[in-house]
Structure 1
Amino acid sequence: MSHAASDLVPFRPRFPWLTGDLQTIANRFLPRVSDLGAAASERLRLPLDDGSGDTLLAMLDRPRVDQGGPALVLIHGLTGCETSTYMLNTTRHFLALGHPVLRLNLRGAGPSRPLCGDIYYAGRSQDVRAALRLLPADLTARGLVAVGFSLGGNVLLKYLGEEGAAAPLRAAVAVCAPIDLSATCQHMLRPRNWFYHRYIIAMMKREALGPGARLTAAERAAVRSARNVWEYDDRFIAPRHGFAGAEDYYDKSKAVRYMPVIRTPTLLIAAADDPWIPVSIYRRFAWAASKALEPLLAAGGGHVGFHAAGSPTPWHDQAIERFIGGSMP
């Protein structure tokens, strides 16, 4: 248990979402947030300066009652975007607490897809770096807290390690991040996960081939022929972005490489029953040697689920709230 979240009630699943699998799929079945409670929402365009001509889109939501606290920057996971259920839930929760919230779409994700020829991947930390530099001054002046979900959590942790003490964030949180990409891929490819995998690979292909994508004929063929996530990464993501293959991509992009040198106060939330992310990759990390990092490993919660008994607010959002309050002056 993180000391910053020590007053948090331990996670207990809400009926009927009693297993890790049910917690995971609940995001698809629970009612989608229709009213965020924002006083105003603004579409931001963040043109990247890497010569690609790509532009990221983000949605900035401002609270009805601004408490003057730091702004949150949310980074979605694989095949997610600004309208993913977990993004909306976290936005609503922190708007109600008086924080501005920015929902960032990674390169080629969601509404950014038509404006990007390229696509995000688990190690593309340079896009987070560029996006933070392009945020409005009135937002950055009050301080920033970044929250990354799943793959977005790995991207965020890699960025924090690269920046070290220079990271322009007051705090950060990673929720169910695949901090060891090779181990996560092997875990996902287990026969018991065939249903998840079939869904995810179909969504990845649709995203990669969507409007705006600038791909060669060979790359389109590689995407279409991939039978699983490893083949997709080995045949498309790795060669397109300068890696020798999937395992080289996984090794150079995994967050555990960068976590020991993170200096920003960072909370890492994971669930022991996550069907996608093996909790063993968290249990074997040397937490005591990384003073800025705090693990919060729950017995349940699934993959970015954490639908807890006794509250409509996801448990991980409650943990983030307490961590922010306890980790910053």
Structure 2
Amino acid sequence: MSRTPFSADFRAPRGLGNRHVQTLLPRLRPLVPLARETEILNLPDGDFVELAWVHPAPVRDDAPVFVLFHGLEGSFDSPYARELLGVASALGWRAVLMHFRGCGQAPNRLPRAYHSGDTADAYWVIGQLAHRYPRAIKVAAGVSLGGNMLLKLVAEQGGDGLDLAGAIAISAPLDLAASADALNRGFARVYQRHLLNALKRKIAAKLAAGPLPISLTSRQLDALETFWAYDNAVTAPLHGFRSATDYYRRASAGRLLGEIELPTLILHAADDPFMPADLFSRLPAPADAVRLEVARQGGHVGFIESHDGKLGSWLARRLAWQLENWASHARPHRSLAAGPKE
């Protein structure tokens, strides 16, 4: 990558700068209280996704819309989801989270699940929002897996292919193979084991309910201990990829950064334990429509700061600034060269 990223204004509190501390801190803090209304949105292939709408919602049909896509095995109850949806709602936005298939309160109907490059459901949801709220500006944000998916979708659709004023990607694993490697080293194996256990529980339930279109026994599922092994045995064959290598190559959004035309903000921590430290040097330079902000610390979707003497979410504060900036324009500028003031 030839373009120099912007330096994010995040500063970790003294003693809380370790990347694993930052990654785990959000899970130790109380969840932001947030009421929701659940909508089952049927998809063209007969499956469904659950939408979690923050309640109460704005009365006006032209209130701006904020749609959030969560990370691997995330949900409305993920700490970052509560923080980001809460801040958007407090600013007067109509806030909604799309649960990927099977991540809501009920298992999905089809044998297939979801994956990092699965853009079709998000495209369908954004289209539904465009139909329901044609006069509202809309911003989408994706966290981790959801961030990679969103960037891939934005690159695929071009500048005018989506009814979005802007997109925000947070801690996105833009090189999936490199992330799978990073998660199989050192303490990061703890995250790998936690996430794999959640994925394997869902597949085990589907295996118990009936045969799946993949060659896999319960004993073989139990033996899958890395993302490489799991994605090769489950994710790839279940979703039409030849192998984990094929899946990682085709689903990674990093190779498409230079093709993005929609105003896009990417937030990343250089010490993210889910990714290699040299992630962006492996990728093409982002397009002019992209503003890449890299913080020296922050971990994976951590970014816990001390603000006004209290621990808080820098991500929520940064999101609030961006939403207010975009909401102040009917259509945001194509360049994001001017970031927030420190």
State the TM-score, normalizing by the size of structure 2.
Answer: 0.84
Inter-CA distance 192–64: structure 2 relative to 1 (3 Å threshold) = closer
Q: Contact 1:62/1:99 (CA < 8 Å) preserved in 2?
A: no
1:18-33 aligned within 5 A = 18-33=17-32
Report SS of the residue matched to 1:113. Answer: coil
Q: Among 112, 123, 141, which residue is 1:118 paired with?
A: 112
Aligned twin of 1:278: 276
Deviation at 1:70, TM superposition (A): 1.9
Aligned twin of 1:193: 188
Q: Contact 1:58/1:82 (CA < 8 Å) preserved in 2?
A: no
Q: Among 292, 296, 302, which residue is 1:295 paired with?
A: 292
Deviation at 1:154, TM superposition (A): 0.6
Deviation at 1:118, TM superposition (A): 2.0
Aligned residues: 316
Matched, 1:317 2:310: no
Q: Contact 1:197/1:228 (CA < 8 Å) preserved in 2?
A: yes
Matching residue's letter, 2:118? R
Which moved further from structure 2: 290-299 or 113-122?
Answer: 113-122
The CA distance in 2 between the partners of 1:117 and 1:131, in whole Å, is 21
Inter-CA distance 297–66: structure 2 relative to 1 (3 Å threshold) = farther
Matching residue's letter, 2:53? L
Aligned twin of 2:49: 56
Aligned twin of 1:263: 261
Which moved further from structure 2: 9-18 or 261-270?
Answer: 9-18
Q: Contact 1:46/1:57 (CA < 8 Å) preserved in 2?
A: yes
Aligned twin of 2:201: 206
Deviation at 1:105, TM superposition (A): 0.2
Measured against aligned partners, the alpha-carbon deviations of 1:14-67 in whole angstroms (never above 9, x if no partner) come to: 36533110011112211112x22x6xx4322111102xx211011111557679
Inter-CA distance 210–118: structure 2 relative to 1 (3 Å threshold) = same
Aligned twin of 1:3: none
Measured against aligned partners, the alpha-carbon deviations of 1:88-143 in whole angstroms (never above 9, x if no partner) come to: 11111111111110011001213242445321101111111122223374445302
Mind listing any 5+ residue stretches in structure 1 that lack a counterpart?
1-5
Percent identity, aligned pairs only?
30
Mind listing any 5+ residue stretches in structure 2 that lack a counterpart?
1-5, 330-342
Aligned twin of 2:83: 89
Q: Among 80, 95, 111, which residue is 1:101 paired with?
A: 95
Deviation at 1:167, TM superposition (A): 1.9
1:70-81 aligned within 5 A = 70-81=64-75
The CA distance in 1 between the partners of 2:289 and 2:211, in whole Å, is 40
The CA distance in 2 between the partners of 1:214 and 1:59, in whole Å, is 29
Inter-CA distance 192–58: structure 2 relative to 1 (3 Å threshold) = same
Q: Contact 2:142/2:169 (CA < 8 Å) preserved in 1?
A: yes
Inter-CA distance 138–105: structure 2 relative to 1 (3 Å threshold) = same
The CA distance in 2 between the partners of 1:96 and 1:272, in whole Å, is 30
Q: Contact 2:255/2:284 (CA < 8 Å) preserved in 1?
A: no
Q: Contact 1:108/1:117 (CA < 8 Å) preserved in 2?
A: no
Which moved further from structure 2: 115-124 or 130-139?
Answer: 130-139
Inter-CA distance 136–223: structure 2 relative to 1 (3 Å threshold) = farther
The CA distance in 1 between the partners of 2:111 and 2:37, in whole Å, is 24
Computed over aligned residues only, the root mean square deviation of the Cα atoms, in angstroms, reads 2.5
The structure carrying a bigger helix percent of its residues is 1
The CA distance in 2 between the partners of 1:280 and 1:156, in whole Å, is 22
Q: Contact 1:209/1:220 (CA < 8 Å) preserved in 2?
A: no
The CA distance in 2 between the partners of 1:210 and 1:47, in whole Å, is 22
State the TM-score, normalizing by the size of structure 1.
Answer: 0.87
Inter-CA distance 129–300: structure 2 relative to 1 (3 Å threshold) = same
Aligned twin of 1:144: 138
Aligned twin of 2:240: 242
